[in-house]
Amino acid sequence: MTNVKSTTIGYPYIGENREWKRTIERFWKNDLTETELEQQLKQQRIHNLLKQEKLGIDQVTVGDFTQYDRVLDLAFMFNIIPNRYKTLEQSPSLKTYYAMARGSQETVACEMTKWFNTNYHYIVPEYTGEKLSLQNNTLLSLFNEAKEVLKNTPKPTLIGPFTFSKITKGYNEQQFAAYLVQLLPLYEEVIQQLVDAGAEWIQIEEPLLTQELSDEDLKLVQVIYKQLAENVPQAKIMLTTYFEGIPQYEQIVQLPVAGIGLDFVHGFKENSQSINQFGFPNDKVLAVGVINGRDIWTSNLKEVSQQIDAILQLVQPKELWIQPSCSLQHTPVTTASETELFDVLKNALAFADEKLEEIQQITNYIKEGKWTNPQVIQDNLTNLQNLANHVSRNNEEVKNELNALTEADTKRGVPFETRLEVQQKLLQLPSFPTTTIGSFPQSAVVKKTRSDWRKGDLSNEQYEKFLEEETLRWVKIQEELELDVLVHGEFERTDMVEYFGEKLKGFAFTKKAWVVSYGSRCVKPPVIYGDVQWVEPMTVKETAFTQQHTKHWVKGMLTGPVTILNWSFVRDDLSREKVTNQIALALRKEIEALEAAGIRIIQVDEPALREGLPLRKKNHSDYLRWATDAFKISTSTVKDDTQIHTHMCYCEFNDFIDPIISLDADVISLETSRSHGELTHSLKENPYPYGIGLGVYDIHSPRVPSVEEMATILEESLVTIPVQRFWVNPDCGLKTRGETETVAALKNMVQATKNLRNAQ
């Protein structure tokens, strides 16, 4: 086939060494002027463009770069700037932009939320009735800049009007039409200006089309694209979808646009079936997303090429574009710096740059009908086979344990009521027991000591001694504060997943596999490449040490299986359910070891439980079934009087109480200090039958809440939670806080609790 092109939906903007993050953060600290910021970012953009061209991308995308978040860029460009920022400056500039993103002295930031089912978080556009207008067509500047350096005309990209308007908050149903009436002409203006400047294709991203649309929404989509076709007739629009198949394929492919982009990785089955059933219009371009844009693994090139061949057997699009399944911003930049990974693993990895090479290979194959370099295909297969055959993926012990799992493994011996009785007998805690979520401040000294030890400047003995001293110091502080259940403080942990990953079999750690989580914040998830197995105790030493030094109960502290899964890059040859169960079995051994060492309260954190929910509602129940089962597999073998706690944060709980109940955990602590009223309300409708601690203060701020403030929250919660099951705690771990404010806040928390006890 001759009319074939390689392209991308988007490319990571952070740079090989997170240059982008550094530049932006320096600007925030006033280390860079605005001009310097702009110059450095321009260099980074051009570097990225040229690299993509060099890697064989025929049509490079622009507008995938941002100074914080692409959704915010669009809102800002359209003057969707909530009134509270209007007082900051006469005409909004970067100051307003970053105030919306991060808050400022005068104003709080806009809300942030997950971008579909990824771990990226965008700034939610907030419409407060202002008049929309095109401020400054930044996309046009980016297009012009790219055009100058690239051989082929770049393709500007925009998040589409349907998705964008639907994710905007602030308007009610009646105002929606008025909002859209203002919004669409601005899209038209932007697109028209791009066409006038020579843009051949405009990519419009509509990930929301992967949801089942109501008749009304489908109609809306049709109206939007009809209007665009009428008002900017010269624009060739590539309507791009990603993260899933599109359920309303038949109607979507008939929209008056020049091309349709489909995800053939996550939506492979659905989109293939639709193509089979409904064909594809001969007068449109088909963009096939065939390389996974969200994982880190090499694709099986032969298999991918066969998939495309199969599509071409069925349909004859006007032109075929080969591209990744979604923007590559969800995968790290390049494997080039991963020099410390073992070869078998490294050879099976593909980050953004390597994925572009795969796109190039496949595009050439489709163009020429044969592989340009058959050796590459041979090597590709060998690399994949080597990893599949590697001992790490063929651990018989793990396999047998997994196969032996039955329903009984997810059940504790006796029901909660019976457990509560024996636990109270053993633990003898006062009413309204006070505790914390696990970590205490990771001071500069703690961080420095750990990094000295990692560098080898400190011996194991010296480091352990330091950790013991820090723990003992905090045992004393906790005792003086009169907290009831103590923790060891997590001083040895950098991160709640990495720490466990480093001690379990099956995990690898990269040097630079960073991806953006939100704004300039990047995360470097561990890689689960092999069978996960418990090797030796991971937390027993420090927990038992702490228990030996206090008369109070010490709570053991682990990260749960689902959170470990959701915050890692996961192998793709096993189902997520199976990988999670492997982790659960490993954690079960740890919990048993803690119990054997005399620890009778054990907390298993699952802050990312909700994060793993699939995009489609109809798939939720299956996920929740195996995810909650995994938690129960790890926690169900303890004695009746060992108390299992869990903790969750970062999410909306109001419609999530049922899954939490199904964890069958004896106690849960929740992050609720910012939405307390709402949760108490839904707990009233849907009572929670276990022990529960609603976070009584927000740990994300250095502010020390008063005794009265916390007392009010406690009293309000008492309406929905009976005394026997009522716990008192802050709303998350304290590792990011300073010591002084932590002690002051906990002191007030304990005082508020004492007042409550006295009033009973």
Q: Which of Zn ion, ligand GLN, none does residue 590 bind to, with CB < 5 to 8 Å depending on kind? A: none
Return d(Cα 369, Cα 2) in angstroms, integer: 10
Q: Is 136 annotated as a binding residue?
A: no
- Beta carbon nearer to ligand GLN, 533 or 634: 634
71 lines the binding site for ligand GLN (CB under 6 A): no
Q: Is 567 annotated as a binding residue?
A: yes
Joined tokens for residue 388 = 């599949």
Q: Is 518 helix (H, G, I), strand (E, B) or coil?
A: strand
| Contact yes or no for 260/320 (Cβ under 8 A) | no
Site pattern 460..499 for ligand GLN (x: CB under 6 A): ------------------------------x-----x---
DSSP run (H or E) holding 430: none
- Beta carbon nearer to ligand GLN, 355 or 645: 645
Does the active-site annotation cover 700? yes
Q: Which of ligand GLN, Zn ion, none does residue 154 bind to, with CB < 5 to 8 Å depending on kind? A: none
Residue with tokens 């709570």, as numbered in its chain: 555
Cβ 535 to ligand GLN shortest distance, Å: 22
Cβ 734 to ligand GLN shortest distance, Å: 7
- Phi and psi (nearest 5°) for 303? -65, -45
- Beta carbon nearer to Zn ion, 156 or 607: 607
732 lines the binding site for ligand GLN (CB under 6 A): yes
Return d(Cα 709, Cα 720) in angstroms, integer: 18
Q: Which stretch binds ligand GLN (CB under 6 A): 394-402, 434-442, 541-549, 569-577?
A: 434-442
Joined tokens for residue 315 = 């349909």
Q: Which of ligand GLN, Zn ion, none does residue 401 bind to, with CB < 5 to 8 Å depending on kind? A: none
| Contact yes or no for 300/388 (Cβ under 8 A) | no
Cβ 365 to Zn ion shortest distance, Å: 48
- Beta carbon nearer to ligand GLN, 506 or 733: 733
362 lines the binding site for ligand GLN (CB under 6 A): no
Residue with tokens 């006070």, as numbered in its chain: 434
Q: Which of ligand GLN, Zn ion, none does residue 353 bind to, with CB < 5 to 8 Å depending on kind? A: none
Site for ligand GLN in 507-566 (CB under 6 A): 557
Residue with tokens 């195996």, as numbered in its chain: 626
- Phi and psi (nearest 5°) for 434? -100, 145
| Contact yes or no for 734/694 (Cβ under 8 A) | no
Q: Is 367 helix (H, G, I), strand (E, B) or coil?
A: helix
Question: Contacts with ligand GLN: how many residues (CB under 6 A)?
Answer: 13
Q: Is 671 annotated as a binding residue?
A: yes
Q: Is 490 annotated as a binding residue?
A: yes
Cβ 703 to Zn ion shortest distance, Å: 18
735 lines the binding site for ligand GLN (CB under 6 A): yes
- Beta carbon nearer to ligand GLN, 356 or 557: 557
Amino acid code (one letter) for 523: V
Neighbours of 452 (CB within 10 A): 14
Q: Is 205 annotated as a binding residue?
A: no
Q: Is 437 annotated as a binding residue?
A: yes
Tally of CA atoms within 13 A in the half-sphere of 296 that contains its CB: 28
| Contact yes or no for 362/308 (Cβ under 8 A) | yes
Q: Is 721 annotated as a binding residue?
A: no
Q: Is 556 helix (H, G, I), strand (E, B) or coil?
A: strand
- Beta carbon nearer to Zn ion, 426 or 657: 657
Q: Which stretch binds ligand GLN (CB under 6 A): 295-303, 407-415, 431-439, 745-753?
A: 431-439
The residues that touch Zn ion, with contacts defined as CB under 5 A, are 607, 649, 732
| Contact yes or no for 325/263 (Cβ under 8 A) | yes
Residue with tokens 């990988």, as numbered in its chain: 579
Q: Which of ligand GLN, Zn ion, none does residue 496 bind to, with CB < 5 to 8 Å depending on kind? A: ligand GLN
733 lines the binding site for ligand GLN (CB under 6 A): yes
Name, in order, each residue with C-beta under 8 angstroms of 124's C-beta and a sequence gap of 6 or more.
Answer: 71, 110, 111, 112, 113, 167, 168, 169
439 lines the binding site for ligand GLN (CB under 6 A): yes
Return d(Cα 751, Cα 33) in angstroms, integer: 48
Return d(Cα 622, Cα 651) in angstroms, integer: 20
Q: Is 375 helix (H, G, I), strand (E, B) or coil?
A: helix
Q: Which of Zn ion, ligand GLN, none does residue 294 bind to, with CB < 5 to 8 Å depending on kind? A: none
| Nearest C-alpha neighbor of 542 from the set 640, 444, 474, 604 | 474
Return d(Cα 243, Cα 540) in angstroms, integer: 41
Residues in the chain, how many? 760
Cβ 199 to ligand GLN shortest distance, Å: 44
Beta-ladder partners of 647? 605, 669
Q: Is 425 annotated as a binding residue?
A: no
437 lines the binding site for ligand GLN (CB under 6 A): yes
Q: Which of ligand GLN, Zn ion, none does residue 557 bind to, with CB < 5 to 8 Å depending on kind? A: ligand GLN
- Beta carbon nearer to ligand GLN, 289 or 691: 691
| Nearest C-alpha neighbor of 713 from the set 727, 686, 695, 690 | 695
649 lines the binding site for ligand GLN (CB under 6 A): yes
Q: What angle do CA 512, 332, 49 make, to 5 degrees?
A: 110
- Beta carbon nearer to ligand GLN, 505 or 700: 700
Cβ 669 to ligand GLN shortest distance, Å: 9
| Contact yes or no for 265/226 (Cβ under 8 A) | no
Please state, in angstroms and as integers, the Cα–Cα distance from residue 263 to each residue in 8, 243, 268, 294, 406, following that order.
Answer: 12, 7, 7, 12, 36
- Beta carbon nearer to Zn ion, 438 or 519: 438
Return d(Cα 377, Cα 331) in angstroms, integer: 23
Please state, in angstroms and as integers, the Cα–Cα distance from residue 153 to each residue in 51, 148, 268, 754, following that order.
Answer: 15, 9, 30, 69
663 lines the binding site for ligand GLN (CB under 6 A): no
- Beta carbon nearer to ligand GLN, 37 or 586: 586
Minimal CB distance residue for ligand GLN: 733
Rule CB under 6 A: choose which of 10, 125, 154, 438 binds ligand GLN: 438
Q: Which stretch binds ligand GLN (CB under 6 A): 4-12, 128-136, 264-272, 433-441?
A: 433-441
Cβ 605 to ligand GLN shortest distance, Å: 5
Cβ 99 to ligand GLN shortest distance, Å: 26
235 lines the binding site for ligand GLN (CB under 6 A): no
Q: Which of Zn ion, ligand GLN, none does residue 735 bind to, with CB < 5 to 8 Å depending on kind? A: ligand GLN
Q: Which of Zn ion, ligand GLN, none does residue 438 bind to, with CB < 5 to 8 Å depending on kind? A: ligand GLN
Return d(Cα 59, Cα 585) in angstroms, integer: 47
Burial class of residue 507 in the structure, from the number of CB atoms within 10 Å of its CB (0-12 exposed, 13-18 middle, 19+ buried)? buried
607 lines the binding site for ligand GLN (CB under 6 A): yes
DSSP assignment of 643-707, as one string?
A: EEEEEE-SS--TT-HHHHHHT--SEEEE--TTSHHHHHHHHHHS---SEEEE--S-TTS-----H
Q: Which stretch binds ligand GLN (CB under 6 A): 245-253, 435-443, 564-572, 620-628?
A: 435-443
730 lines the binding site for ligand GLN (CB under 6 A): no
Cβ 737 to ligand GLN shortest distance, Å: 11
Joined tokens for residue 453 = 């030890």
205 lines the binding site for ligand GLN (CB under 6 A): no
Q: Which of Zn ion, ligand GLN, none does residue 10 bind to, with CB < 5 to 8 Å depending on kind? A: none
Q: What residues are labeled active site?
A: 700
Which residues are documented as binding site for L-homocysteine?
A: 437-439, 490, 605
Which residues are documented as binding site for L-methionine?
A: 437-439, 490, 605
**Could you list the residues that contact ligand GLN (CB under 6 A)?**
437-439, 490, 496, 557, 605, 607, 647, 649, 732-733, 735
Which residues are documented as binding site for 5-methyltetrahydropteroyltri-L-glutamate?
A: 18-21, 114, 119, 521-522, 567, 611
